[in-house]
Amino acid sequence: MKSRNKVYPIPVNKIPQSLTECFRSALNFWQSGSYVAEKGGLHHAVGLWILGIEEFGKYALLRETGDGLNNSQGLMEVRERDFKNHALKSEKGQALLKKWGIDLSLVDIPLTEKTREALWYVEWDESRQEFRRDFSALEQGALLKVDSLKELMRRAIVKMQQLEQASRISVQ
């Protein structure tokens, strides 16, 4: 049985690596979402971009934890349940992007795990007695919303890439 209180002891000097890996992951989610959107799968694209937002959030979580320590040689402790918490990472990712001047709330799509699952997965609707997916988050102005989200995510990727490049330069 897994402990819900497991803690990852992570060296603080690994934060630049987390930036690189989270950037690459967010970039791949953005690229995949862009491809899927071009093929007409707007609902899947939004879900992939939500996962990208969570990667920004994972980096923010690690950065905040590391910044709370007084020395750069120590270990930071990150709770596994925080590291894997979709809602927390989404919240932190959106807050980080807002700090960078990228306000994802402008697209008027709830960028949550619940939205992603509703857009992606088929469920049984008791009241209608049919299988369906819930596209309500994209009902009005879907094309405009998705294009706006794609552009805001592109800006976030560019910002994170700049941070990642600056991090590599400062390490050398």
Model pLDDT, residue 2? 60
Lowest mean pLDDT among 24-28, 40-44, 64-68, 93-97: 64-68
The reported pLDDT for the residue numbered 84 is 93
Cβ–Cβ < 8 Å for 47, 119: yes
pLDDT of residue 3: 61
- Over the stretch 47-92, which tens digit does the pLDDT of each residue have? 999 999 999 999 999 989 888 776 666 888 889 999 999 999 999 9
Length of the chain: 172
Q: Please, which contacts does 2-7 make with residues 24 or more away whose CB atoms are closer than 8 Å?
A: 4/80, 4/81, 5/79, 5/81, 6/79, 6/80, 6/81, 7/77, 7/78, 7/79, 7/80
CATH topology of domain 7-171: Four Helix Bundle (Hemerythrin (Met), subunit A) (1.20.120)
What is the percent of the chain with per-residue pLDDT over 90, rounded to a whole number? 59
Query: Residue 148 in contact with residue 106, Cβ under 8 Å?
Result: yes
* pLDDT band at residue 140 using 50, 70 and 90 as cut-offs: confident
CA distances from 58 to 47, 65, 79, 110 (A): 17, 11, 12, 19
The Cα–Cα gap between 153 and 75 comes to: 31
- Top pLDDT among 3 and 150 is at 150
Instruction: Give residue 75's pLDDT.
Output: 87
State the pLDDT confidence band at 144, using cuts at 50, 70 and 90.
confident
Segment 98-124, tens digit of pLDDT? 999 999 999 989 999 999 998 999 999
Its sign, for the CA torsion 54, 55, 56, 57, is positive
Residues 28-49, mean pLDDT to the nearest whole number: 95
pLDDT score at 172 = 52
Please count the other Cβ atoms lying within 10 Å of the Cβ belonging to residue 104.
23
